[in-house]
Structure 1
């Protein structure tokens, strides 16, 4: 907000600065052609009318300054008038095009965000004997809505979840996320084996994705004292044990992302990890670990995992999200989804 106010007043500051410089320079040095900077700067943040107003102010400053310098009606001054009129007209056109583009981007962003809200249903706070917490932070750069996706469902086969990240941005990514979520919600109930769920997801994407497009994802199933996972090229989750020990749940063999099965027909393999009383596990998308500070440092997730040991999982995840935003020092450049599961004692 403060930077916007600075931009709004910058044209006037520049023009009066030019007038002051011309007065201090005497009649031998004429800086009046620099008044064209006023309407040029106005087009950056102002509307068409404001840009025209700045151009009129530039002409209003020019006339008395030209009289002071003895240049009124000279060809040099007439050329300056034409320059101000020309730059003002061009700046008004640029301002109109900028505002039109901003409205289009805002419309696209609203549509994409509405689509995401429909697709990404609120996860249940409890699933079986598990407590579930969710944090989703949307990227704030123009219309760069991402394709992060998640789902937690209780099925006859147990509690199953999906977290994923679609390659790309915008409405195309949201559409792909819709296909993945739809296929998972059906397959999670129908298929007894996690690998078969992966096959269903792959088959669905093969019908809708273009060549070399992909989706990284993890499909997981929670058992009584263990968890089964199939990792399709997604960042490995972080397991937090009751004593505070951290462990990254890496798959024995890294599987390819969904949509790239044609490059390697061998399916991603399921693997198991203990998940008992008091354990917590954090699933996340790469927008978390790839978030950079103003100095360019990646977010140190494992070093900040202490936030996740709070009693309330949602409060713990909210604290971690606040720390993530503080680390970046501003809006995230990519969507960041985090899903925390806790099995109480």
Structure 2
């Protein structure tokens, strides 16, 4: 780590002092060569001190920005609990923009009386420009979840709130009118081995069967349009149900994962790779996928991405605190 501006100025001053002492000892202080060397050394010292000051100020600004970004992520993308009722959870998030922890992908969880609700979504756009839309969607979901609504009514309430929230940008221009959010909503009851699902134009979750019995994309028969599309949005929604037995895992993801490409333009084969690690615990599964994704792309991840893994463990353990939204 480089020295600070004070240390740099002290070292520069000591260098000038050493040159003066050497010149006095040799009785050459008034010579032209020594005067040129003193002026040059002093100028270099001032320049280095100024550059060091600017570097340290930039580092402090970047550190403050990172703290603000981290605080914003904790407010918007609240960490998921490791356990909620009979399911275990793990999540990962990566923003497309360097030194930024929040972007256009999102996820959230809520507990109702007897079930766990989850959502994952993708705002049109990426990085910092999409944070306002991310806040609108997450705020709408959390507000509706507190009302303990059935899943289909919850989605309708979120759509109405998102549509209203995104209309605030209508005066900006055509780009604002094209704002929308793809999302998938899940309801996992504590007492039944199934999962209810409503899709709003989002990639289907992957169901990893226990014991490596295969991977199934949970594509609903009638997916709804993305959230916030105004007149083509629905007022009523239909939920599809799928078996979700103890030991099964659900992998929720955004297109930042499946649309990542290697040097030849080949998309990342998420379903095939996830199937190979279906028996891993949720945290380990996500770690393996992220490492493999970086290897596939050569470390170039150009879009926001988010993933959530849900594993059904069985009955809700007694005496254990359940996760909150």
TM-score if structure 2 supplies the norm length? 0.69
Partner of 2:290: 321
The answer for unaligned runs of 5 or more in structure 2 is 1-46, 49-53, 170-176, 315-325
Cross-structure match for 1:213:
179
Alpha-carbon distance in structure 1 between the residues aligned to 2:160 and 2:91? 28
Select the residue among 203, 209, 228 that pairs with 2:160: 203
Distance 1:117 1:294, change over 3 A: farther
Find the aligned partners of 2:245 and 2:185 in 1 and give their Cα distance: 19
Counterpart of 1:304 in structure 2 is: 273
Cα gap change, 1:232 to 1:107, in 2 (>3 Å): farther
Aligned to 1:158: 115
For 1:221 and 1:138, the matched residues in 2 are separated by 27
The 1:169/1:112 distance shift into structure 2, 3 A limit, reads: farther
Q: Distance in 2 between matches of 1:251 and 1:233?
A: 10
Q: CA deviation at 1:307?
A: 4.8
Shift of the 241–305 alpha-carbon distance from structure 1 to 2, 3 Å rule, reads same
3-state secondary structure, aligned to 1:190: coil
What's 1:263 paired with?
232
Tell me which residue corresponds to 2:195: 227
| In 2, Cα distance between equivalents of 1:278 and 1:233 | 28
Shift of 1:109: 7.3
Structure 1 pair 203–108 and aligned structure 2 pair: CA distance change class (3 A):
farther
Which secondary structure does the structure 1 equivalent of 2:203 belong to?
coil
Partner Cα separation in structure 1 for residue 195 and residue 243 of structure 2: 6
* 1:271-297 residue CA offsets vs partner (Å, 9 max, x unmatched): 111101111110001100011112211
CA deviation after TM superposition for structure 1 residue 169, in Å: 2.7
2:296 and 2:63 mapped to 1: Cα distance?
27
Shift of 1:343: 1.1
Aligned to 1:62: none
**2:95 matched to 1:127?**
no
Matched, 1:341 2:307: no
Report the equivalent of 1:248: 217
Q: How far apart, CA to CA, are the structure 1 residues paired with 2:128 and 2:194?
A: 37
- Taking a change above 3 Å as real, the CA distance of residues 136 and 142 of structure 1, as seen in their structure-2 partners, is closer
Correspondence for 1:178: 135
Per mean C-alpha deviation after superposition, the further-off stretch among 113-122 and 292-301 is 113-122
> Structure 1: which 5+ runs fail to align?
1-48, 51-95
Q: Deviations over 1:217-270 (max 9, x none)?
A: 111100221100110000000001114211000010121000014124464421
2:249 corresponds to which residue? 280
Match of 2:293, SS state, is helix
CA contact (8 A) 2:187 2:197 kept: yes
Q: Which residue of 2 aligns with 1:188?
A: 145
**Are 2:145 and 2:154, in contact at CA under 8 Å, matched by a contact in 1?**
yes
Shift in CA distance, 334/110, structure 1 to aligned 2, threshold 3 Å: farther
Displacement of 1:320 = 1.1
Distance 2:295 2:148 in 1: 42
Separation in 1, partners of 2:200, 2:63: 33
The number of equivalent residue pairs is: 254
Does the 8 A contact of 1:307 with 1:317 survive in 2? no
CA contact (8 A) 1:163 1:218 kept: yes
Moved more, 251-260 or 196-205: 196-205
Find the aligned partners of 1:189 and 1:239 in 2 and give their Cα distance.
Answer: 27
